[in-house]
């Protein structure tokens, strides 16, 4: 089964959001020797892109918490800045 959602958020404190995202990144158990970037580059990317920071800390795995008989199996979540768009409608006319 698939659940499709669009969630709109208002970021009232961008510094708090990016700070939280950076703290999560520092705490993550990442073997940076196997990554394309290093920790400092990844931190700078989070600090310079609010949408990336927001999407890095949104945890959709709790979407079905407390619902009997439902188990979260995976999903996809991202953030975009700017006017909303309809991701379920083809851009081709």
* Predicted confidence (pLDDT) per residue in 32-71, tens digit: 999 999 999 999 999 999 999 998 998 888 888 999 999 9
- Is residue 18 a part of any domain in this protein? yes
* pLDDT at position 31: 93
Structure-model confidence comparison of residues 90 and 21, the more confident one? 21
Token pair belonging to 1: 């089964």
| Structural domain boundaries, residue 40 | 1-28+35-58
Tell me the per-residue pLDDT of 69-80, one tens digit each, with 9 for 90 and over.
Answer: 999 898 888 888
Tell me the C-alpha to C-alpha distance, in Å, between residue 61 and each of 3, 12, 42, 58, 89: 13, 24, 23, 9, 25
| Number of domains, the chain | 1
pLDDT of residue 92: 52
- Is 75 within the bounds of a domain? no
């Amino acid at each position: 089964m698939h659940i499709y959602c669009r969630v709109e958020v208002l970021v009232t404190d961008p510094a708090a959001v990016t700070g939280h995202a950076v703290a999560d990144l520092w705490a993550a158990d990442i073997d940076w020797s196997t990554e394309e970037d290093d920790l400092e580059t990844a931190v700078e990317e989070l600090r310079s892109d609010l949408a990336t920071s927001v999407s890095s800390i949104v945890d959709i795995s709790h979407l079905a918490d407390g619902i009997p008989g439902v188990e979260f199996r995976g999903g996809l979540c991202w953030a975009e800045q700017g006017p909303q768009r309809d991701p379920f409608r083809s851009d081709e006319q």
